[in-house]
Chains A and B, each alone.
Chain A
Amino acid sequence: MSAPIHFQPATGFADRSRAAVNDAHLRRSFRGAMDFLQAKRLAQFPDPGELAALRDLGEAVRRYALANLPKLLEQLESKLTANGIEVHWAETPDEANAIVLAIARRHEAKRMVKGKSMVSEEVGLNHAMEAAGIEALETDMGEYIVQLAGEAPSHIIMPAIHKTRQQIAELFAAKVPGVDYNDNVDALIRIGRDVLRKKFAAAEIGLSGVNFAVAETGTLFLVENEGNGRMCTTVPRVHIAITGIEKVVAKLEHVPLLNELLPRSATGQAVETYQNFISGPRKQDELDGPDEVHLVLLDNGRTQAYGDVQLRTTLQCIRCGACMNHCPVYARIGGHAYGTTYPGPIGAIISPHLLGLGATHALATASTLCGACSEVCPVRIPIPDILVRLRNEAQAGNASALRGSGTARKPLLSAIWRGWALTYGHPTLYRIVSWLISRGSALAPSNQGAWTRSRTPLKPARRRLRDLLAARDSGK
Chain B
Amino acid sequence: MNARERILARLRQAPAGAPAPLPDVDAWYAAAAAEDLAARVERFKANIEAAHAEVHETDEADWPALLFDLAAQKSLRTVLVGNGTPQAATLRSQPQQALKLVGYDRPAAAWRAELFERIDAALTTAKSAIAATGSLILWPDPCEPRLMSLVPPVHFVLLDAAMIHANLHAAMAAENWAAGMPTNALVISGPSKTADIQQTLAYGAHGPRELIVLLCRRTGVTS
Binding site for B on A (CB under 8 A): 32-33, 36, 53-54, 57, 60-61, 63-64, 66-70, 73-74, 83, 89-91, 95, 139-142, 145, 158-161, 163-165, 168, 185-186, 188-190, 192-193, 196-197, 200-201, 216-219, 225-228, 230-231, 234-235, 237, 245, 250-254, 256-257, 259, 267, 270-283, 285-289, 297, 299, 303, 306-309, 312
Q: Taking the nearest CB of chain B, how far is it from the CB of A306, in angstroms?
A: 5
Partner of B178, one of A33, A89, A251: A251
When A60-B21, A63-B20 are in contact, do A288 and B107 touch as well, CB less than 8 Å? yes
Which A residues are CB-close (under 8 A) to B169?
253, 256-257
> B-side binding surface: helix, strand, loop or mixed?
loop
A189 and B147 contacting across the interface, CB-CB below 8 Å = no
When A95-B3, A226-B193, A256-B168 are in contact, do A57 and B20 touch as well, CB less than 8 Å? no
A234 and B141 contacting across the interface, CB-CB below 8 Å = no
Q: Return 10 A-B CB contacts under 8 Å, by A number.
A: A89-B3, A185-B202, A217-B178, A226-B207, A231-B150, A257-B25, A271-B187, A275-B168, A277-B185, A279-B182
B178 and A253 contacting across the interface, CB-CB below 8 Å = yes
A89 and B204 contacting across the interface, CB-CB below 8 Å = no
Q: Taking the nearest CB of chain B, how far is it from the CB of A369, in angstroms?
A: 23
Hey, what's the 0/1 contact readout for B189-210 against A, CB within 8 Å counting as 1? 1111111111110101111100
Partner of B194, one of A141, A252, A270: A141
A74 and B8 contacting across the interface, CB-CB below 8 Å = yes
Give the one of B3, B135, B198, B206 with max A CB within 10 A.
B206
Whether, in the assembled complex, B188 has its beta carbon less than 8 Å from a beta carbon of chain A, the answer is: yes
Which A residues are CB-close (under 8 A) to B190?
273
Task: Name the CB-closest residue of A to B32.
Answer: A50
A67 to B197, CA, bound (A): 40
A69 to B208, CA, bound (A): 38
Q: Taking the nearest CB of chain B, how far is it from the CB of A271, in angstroms?
A: 4
Binding site for A on B (CB under 8 A): 2-4, 6-8, 10-23, 25-26, 28, 47, 51, 83, 104-109, 112-113, 116, 133-135, 140-142, 145-147, 150, 167-169, 172-173, 177-178, 181-200, 202, 204-208
Partner of B181, one of A200, A277, A283: A277
Which B residues are CB-close (under 8 A) to A257?
23, 25, 28, 169
A287 and B107 contacting across the interface, CB-CB below 8 Å = yes
Task: Name the CB-closest residue of B to A160.
Answer: B196
B133 and A270 contacting across the interface, CB-CB below 8 Å = yes
When A252-B172, A257-B28, A277-B181 are in contact, do A228 and B206 touch as well, CB less than 8 Å? yes
B181 and A67 contacting across the interface, CB-CB below 8 Å = no
B28 and A57 contacting across the interface, CB-CB below 8 Å = yes
Which B residues are CB-close (under 8 A) to A299?
3, 7, 10
B47 and A270 contacting across the interface, CB-CB below 8 Å = yes
B184 and A234 contacting across the interface, CB-CB below 8 Å = yes
B25 and A253 contacting across the interface, CB-CB below 8 Å = yes
A141 and B196 contacting across the interface, CB-CB below 8 Å = yes
Partner of B198, one of A60, A164, A219: A164
A365 to B199, CA, bound (A): 30
Q: Taking the nearest CB of chain A, how far is it from the CB of B128, in angstroms?
A: 14
Task: Name the CB-closest residue of B to A73.
Answer: B8
A139 to B178, CA, bound (A): 31
A277 to B127, CA, bound (A): 15
B186 and A275 contacting across the interface, CB-CB below 8 Å = yes
A14 to B167, CA, bound (A): 47
Give the one of A54, A63, A277 with max B CB within 10 A.
A277
A177 to B12, CA, bound (A): 54
Task: Name the CB-closest residue of A to B8.
Answer: A70
When A226-B206, A274-B207, A279-B182 are in contact, do A66 and B20 touch as well, CB less than 8 Å? yes
Which B residues are CB-close (under 8 A) to A286?
140-142, 145, 183
Which A residues are CB-close (under 8 A) to B192?
225-227, 273-274
Which B residues are CB-close (under 8 A) to A228?
205-206
Which B residues are CB-close (under 8 A) to A308?
14
B145 and A287 contacting across the interface, CB-CB below 8 Å = yes
Q: Taking the nearest CB of chain A, how far is it from the CB of B138, in angstroms?
A: 10
A57 and B23 contacting across the interface, CB-CB below 8 Å = yes
A237 to B112, CA, bound (A): 12
A396 to B82, CA, bound (A): 65
Which A residues are CB-close (under 8 A) to B141?
286
A160 to B18, CA, bound (A): 40
Name 8 extra pairs, CB < 8 A, besides A139-B206, A287-B145: A142-B197, A189-B204, A216-B178, A230-B186, A231-B150, A275-B187, A277-B186, A287-B106
A387 to B201, CA, bound (A): 35
B12 and A70 contacting across the interface, CB-CB below 8 Å = yes
Which B residues are CB-close (under 8 A) to A145?
196-197
Which A residues are CB-close (under 8 A) to B140?
286
When A235-B108, A253-B169, A277-B185 are in contact, do A89 and B20 touch as well, CB less than 8 Å? no
Task: Name the CB-closest residue of A to B17.
Answer: A309
Which B residues are CB-close (under 8 A) to A276?
184, 186
When A95-B3, A165-B197, A165-B198 are in contact, do A271 and B189 touch as well, CB less than 8 Å? yes
Give the one of A140, A142, A270 with max B CB within 10 A.
A270
Which B residues are CB-close (under 8 A) to A66?
17, 20
Give the one of B104, B150, B204 with max A CB within 10 A.
B150
A276 to B138, CA, bound (A): 10
A281 to B184, CA, bound (A): 9
Task: Name the CB-closest residue of B to A54.
Answer: B28
A252 to B169, CA, bound (A): 9
